Amino acid sequence: MLNSQQLIYLIAVGSFLIGTQPTIAQSTANIPTPTNRSKPQQIIFKPPPNDGKPKTTSSAGSRRDWQCPQDATSTTPANQTPIMALVPADSNYGLTIAEHPTFLVYLPQTSAKQVVLSLMTEDNQLHSQTFIPIQGEPGIISIKSADSSPPLEVGKNYQWVLVLVCGEKPSPNDPVISSWVRRVALPHPQNHQKTALEQVDAYSEAGIWYDAAITLAQIKNTQPNNQAIADIWTNFLKSVGLEAIATQPLRL
């Protein structure tokens, strides 16, 4: 009998194993930079109602399989932070308004050269699959499906699965994490007069996790020495139980 992680893995990389050629996608996000207008001093994410949430949102990952076998050494700290999806810890689920949302993932130091991002429908049908190159340095990276892949449909849940490819091609022993996303329509018309930081605040108030997270990450990435922004980022992550990676470097 296959366990749940093996089943998710087989679905997530099945098209590769039968000969599908990988598509390489670069993660990009066109985020306006903040101005000198008044900015929020603290942003606390407010989870959305559970309406429409999948019945189960448990992740496929575990602390036993967070790194590639060739990277495990006797000196690896037992408490080292594992590969982790940046999603609210208590739900492993988030909303987006994007057709092709960008996800944030923490990666420890790894010899792996690429990851596979697969999105699946609630009935386990493969929606899209993208191979994405990585540098292997520890830190938070951004990933998204190829722009040529089908857009997410409004009102539907998708499981996104990330496989860390430890060898030349995917293997059933590769580390796997998974989370959930649901695309929603904009709750209100966009106010183009808002700064990027004010937009993060608006997304957080509306419970739109993925757009709030990537926008704030982009702000912090462009202002690495701004302590006020660093504090906002830390408190934002702490508000959803992600304090363990709040100080990890951004490699977007």
Query: In this structure, what CATH number is given to the domain that contains residue 150?
Result: 2.60.40.1930
φ/ψ of residue 49, rounded to 5:
-60, 160
pLDDT at 23 over 70: no
Nearest alpha carbon to residue 121 among 185, 180, 208, 186: 180
Spatial separation of the C-alpha atoms in residues 84 and 169, rounded to whole Å: 21
Domain count, the chain: 1
Residue with tokens 């982009």: 218
**Confidence label for 46 from pLDDT (cuts 50, 70 and 90):** very high
Residue 142 in domain: yes
**Confidence label for 9 from pLDDT (cuts 50, 70 and 90):** low
Spatial separation of the C-alpha atoms in residues 107 and 138, rounded to whole Å: 5
Q: What is the pTM of this model?
A: 0.84
- Taking a C-beta distance cutoff of 8 angstroms, is the pair 121, 127 a contact? yes
CA distances from 8 to 5, 215, 233 (A): 5, 29, 32
Residue 39 in domain: no
Helix ranges (DSSP H) in the chain: 4-17, 196-205, 209-222, 227-238
Residue 221 in domain: yes
What letter does residue 96 receive in the DSSP assignment? E
CA distances from 53 to 182, 206, 217, 222, 249 (A): 8, 16, 25, 34, 31
Spatial separation of the C-alpha atoms in residues 225 and 51, rounded to whole Å: 40
Nearest alpha carbon to residue 50 among 122, 157, 151: 157
- Taking a C-beta distance cutoff of 8 angstroms, is the pair 97, 184 a contact? yes
Mean pLDDT of the chain: 84
113-159 confidence digits (pLDDT tens): 999 999 999 999 999 999 999 998 999 999 999 999 999 999 999 99
Residue 32 in domain: no
Residue 250 in domain: no
pLDDT of residue 143: 97
Residue 118 in domain: yes
Residue 113 in domain: yes
CA count, 13 A, side-chain hemisphere, 169:
10
Domain that holds residue 8: 4-24+54-68+81-245
Residue 198 in domain: yes
**Confidence label for 28 from pLDDT (cuts 50, 70 and 90):** very low
64-104 confidence digits (pLDDT tens): 467 898 887 755 666 678 899 999 999 999 999 999 999 99
pLDDT above 70: percentage of residues in the chain = 76
pLDDT of residue 111: 93
What letter does residue 41 receive in the DSSP assignment? S
